[in-house]
Amino acid sequence: MPSFEIGEQDFLLDGEPLQILSGALHYFRVHPDLWADRIHKARLLGLNTIETYVAWNFHSPERGVFDLSGQRDLGRFLDLVAAEGMHAIVRPGPYICAEWDNGGLPAWLLATPGVGVRTAEPTYLEAIASYYDAVLPVVASRQVTRGGPVLAVQVENEYGAYGDDADYLRALVALVRERGIEVPLTTCDQANDEMLSRGGLPELHKTATFGSRSPERLATLRSHQPTGPLMCMEYWDGWFDSWGEQHHTTDPHAAADDLDALLSTGASVNLYMFHGGTNLGLTNGANDKGTYLPITTSYDYDAPLAEDGTPTAKYDAFRAVIARHAPVPAERPARRAPAPVLDVVVDQRLPLVDVLGLLTEPKTFSHLPTTDELGHWSGLTLYRTQVEPDDLALTVDEVRDRALVLLDGEPIGTLSRTEGLTTISLPRRAGRLDVVLEDQGRVNYGPRIGEAKGLIGSARTVTREVTGWDVGGLRLTPLPDEVLDRLRSAAPVAAATGPVDGPALCRGTFPTNPAADHFLRLDGWGKGFVWVNGTLLGRYWAAGPTHTMYVAAPLLRAGENEIVVLELHGAARGAVSFVDAPDLGHTER
């Protein structure tokens, strides 16, 4: 029977030493029609293993639902890894961080009264057991011991940065083992004495995470892992981007030199990321270390393989390093070809206020409910009330995360968590006040994991507390057919490329080459969401740094393609562009 074991100094595959050369590739960030391409390019880099997280909330968006189809087909992804002749490492959390919404934890679970977060609390552990019941059979049947690609499974993720509940970690180990996982179990923590001490167990194999000074970091790991192979489970070869900040890059040659130093010690490695991909839809997370910063739609990560699957200078530099330590195939991925260039007029338009009744069915509250109280876990939420002439201003205790405020359909300003804007002036007149609240992504790291979204606390004017609200979540994934039908039947505006008054839905169509990736540019547009042929690509924002959105070829079709833009503020012109290459913004080294 095949075997994978942890020896005194090496990983042992069928009794022979194996230096794991792995790359992180998240199936949930890549179109399933492109999985095989990305896996193949990992092998061409010289890697022998693919690592992936499993995002619990991606498979279970609602309580009682677990989906393993389409883009969520973890089994098919692992089978493609095996078909390429590669191994796999699976990290099912339950918490993954990954700059992913809520760190992968389902919002519906953390909205349960009394539930614990990353601790040995019974309700939390019971939910994890159900999650493992659904996902671990997929992994168990594909373990190397059963002829599959899976070498190892990780327990939790960088737990030492969050807690130190050894009973919780042992409970997870028991749950994993009870469900047929027989390959080695690992933990990972930052190469820091305190975190490595808190985040592991003596019976689990420790690995570390870092992105520089590899020999020094490995020495720290060795002090906590006296025997067995050393491994950097996340070699941070790039970094993620947040809206409103600069695009992050790292020098490819400096990163390659450090990787060479790491591999020269004989340690194993997992490149985080080998290929970052895209936070499609409403899946991006956020960080809050004093300031709330949501993650961009692009998760390019300045990885060796770019968001659109093309090799970068870092790919070449890493490939040369790996060739000093292991065989590298002669084949090399092709360079990026110029993408189709075209302008698309979006001249069918509907004010958002005209279709709110088709996007939501509000319920009446005598207080400000959170979106979690509504069972609405992401996207946009409508808060509606009436104001009087002497109200003059509206103040909320807290906004999570950003809100567009309209009086009788006319925009009058925004509220913003990041900017600390919790008060807005009101015109001296009575009317219907609509607050369109955007959940910009749930915090994925630190003590604010699991916090509720929405308008938090109470709302007041200069004269009174506002207690009467109609509140409902907006359906965006997918857009309701009734909304699309109205938009498709809307008469094109006369000044087709004239300014767009937001908030508004805008639609256009275009023919193109469906075999090619596209890069959508929205210069002059403010902030909003884009759908192509019914798929929500994600968010755009003039705040940057990202200037283009990746449209994978499998999303396009022969003949007419449809683009829908929900612009929250306004646009200088009613047209969008497809350009020949991505533009992820100015860099920060």
Helix pair angle (214-224, 252-264), 10° resolution: 40
Which among 141, 159, 7 has a CA at the least distance from the CA of 79?
141
234 is catalytic: yes
| Catalytic position from the list 51, 99, 156, 234 | 234
182 is catalytic: no
Is residue 535 within 8 A of residue 555, CB to CB? The reply is: yes
Is residue 29 within 8 A of residue 280, CB to CB? The reply is: yes
Let me know if 319 is exposed, middle or buried by CB neighbors in 10 A (0-12, 13-18, 19+). buried
Q: Which DSSP category does 481 fall into?
A: H
Is residue 537 within 8 A of residue 549, CB to CB? The reply is: yes
| Three-state SS at 63 | coil
Distances (CA, A) of 110 to 63, 405, 456: 11, 28, 16
Let me know if 179 is exposed, middle or buried by CB neighbors in 10 A (0-12, 13-18, 19+). middle
- Name the E strands within 215-258: 231-236, 247-248
- d(Cα 195, Cα 293) in Å, to the nearest integer? 24
Is residue 462 within 8 A of residue 391, CB to CB? The reply is: yes
- Take residue 587 and report the two structure tokens written for it: 């860099």
Contacts of 24 (CB under 8 A, 6+ apart): 51, 52, 53, 234, 270, 271, 272, 273, 274, 275
Q: Please identify which residue in the block is written with the tokens 């087709």.
A: 496
| Catalytic position from the list 156, 158, 307, 438 | 158
Q: Which DSSP category does 143 fall into?
A: B
On the question of a cis peptide bond just before residue 401, with omega within 30 degrees of 0, the verdict is yes
Which among 521, 569, 529 has a CA at the least distance from the CA of 414?
569
Is residue 546 within 8 A of residue 278, CB to CB? The reply is: no
Q: Which DSSP category does 298 fall into?
A: B
Length of the chain: 589
- d(Cα 365, Cα 486) in Å, to the nearest integer? 30
The catalytic residue positions are 158, 234
